[in-house]
Amino acid sequence: MPKSAKAKAEQAVAPPPPEPLAVPVADSHTHLDMQDAGVEEALAKAAAAGVTRLVQIGCDVERARWAATVAAEHDAIWAAVALHPNEAPRIEAASGPAGLDAALDEIAELAALPQVRALGETGLDYFRTGPEGAAAQQRSFRRHIALAKELDKALIIHDRDAHEDVLRLLREEGAPRRTVFHCFSGDAAMADACAAAGYFMSFAGNVTFASAQPLRDALAAAPPELLLVETDAPFLTPVPFRGRPNAPYLIPVTLRAMAAVKGMSEDELALHIAANTERVFG
Ligand SMILES: [Zn+2]
Ligand SMILES: [Zn+2]
């Protein structure tokens, strides 16, 4: 087959399983409902790689319900539920402020379930949603912050091109006891600001990208006591598999790259991450 077709075919193939981790960790942010493998297969492949737990993120009411169901059926899965920052403005545009409130009420009901360990992913996304959706995003984010505090659950934040407003809203509302920046995307100064506030920082496969030196500088600055690791699968597959489908079993690739940045052994970093995950979601 011609070279380009061969390269294209390889892009679609799941990367080979990495060497398993000796110290098991969790994938703190994944979207099983967007991945090709079934739940059982994803869990088995992850466990074989030393990834013994995952946090399934539900991004709208229907997917949040699915996350809660699948977490009730599997000990290795914890659920997080929310209206994604890009979802909230869509709901409000389609069914008005009352429609958004009704959807948030459904999220609140699911969030009270014991297998649901976090509100998320919520936050602000000024990259995909334009200024016309900012008010709905912010209102939804504030409600999720309040719910996390009321239920004493973790808060998982999606922050895209919105660092200042995310930090401001957290300050204004008062952040929940356990607040996580998922797919951390700030620089070293942002990592310092998060560390000062006690926010957890979860790094994804993009920390391995050649262009991501500012992100590696942020990781270098972040205290090990506040680090988590995630895939955000099926997105953000780590180097050298960038562009191919991501899944929880690839956590070791990202964790090893993180350990190199921190100047730590892989086991030492994994011990920190395992303990942090327990503190946040356990
Ligand atoms: Zn996100
Ligand atoms: Zn996500």
**Residue 6 CA to ligand 2 centre (angstroms):** 30
Q: Reduce the DSSP state of residue 118 to 3 states and report it.
A: strand
- Taking the CA of 59 as reference, the closest ligand is 2
**Residue 30 CA to ligand 1 centre (angstroms):** 10
Q: Which H or E run contains 163?
A: helix 163-173
**Residue 263 CA to ligand 1 centre (angstroms):** 27
Determine the pLDDT at residue 2.
54
User: In degrees to the nearest 10, what's the CA dihedral of 136, 54, 186, 268?
Assistant: 160
In tens digits, the chain (282 residues) has pLDDT values of: 455 666 666 678 899 999 999 999 999 999 999 998 999 999 999 999 999 999 999 999 999 999 999 999 999 999 999 999 999 999 999 999 999 999 999 999 999 999 999 999 999 999 999 999 999 999 999 999 999 999 999 999 999 999 999 999 999 999 999 999 999 999 999 999 999 999 999 999 999 999 999 999 999 999 999 999 999 999 999 999 999 999 999 999 999 999 999 999 999 999 999 999 999 999
**Inter-residue contact 233 to 57 (CB < 8 Å):** no
**Inter-residue contact 57 to 28 (CB < 8 Å):** no
**221 exposure class (CB count in 10 Å sphere: 0-12, 13-18, 19+):** middle
- Taking the CA of 80 as reference, the closest ligand is 2
Query: Is cis: bond before 121, omega within 30 of 0?
Result: yes
**Residue 35 CA to ligand 2 centre (angstroms):** 12
Determine the pLDDT at residue 11.
73
- Report the alpha-carbon distance of residue 225 to residue 242 in Å, rounded: 28
pTM, entire model:
0.95
Determine the pLDDT at residue 12.
81
- Taking the CA of 231 as reference, the closest ligand is 2
**Residue 4 CA to ligand 1 centre (angstroms):** 32
Tell me which amino acid residue 138 is: Q
User: Which is nearest to 84 in space by CA: 103, 102, 68?
Assistant: 103
Helix, strand, coil in percent for the chain, rounding step 5: 55, 15, 30
- Taking the CA of 159 as reference, the closest ligand is 1
User: Which is nearest to 47 in space by CA: 251, 273, 265, 230?
Assistant: 251
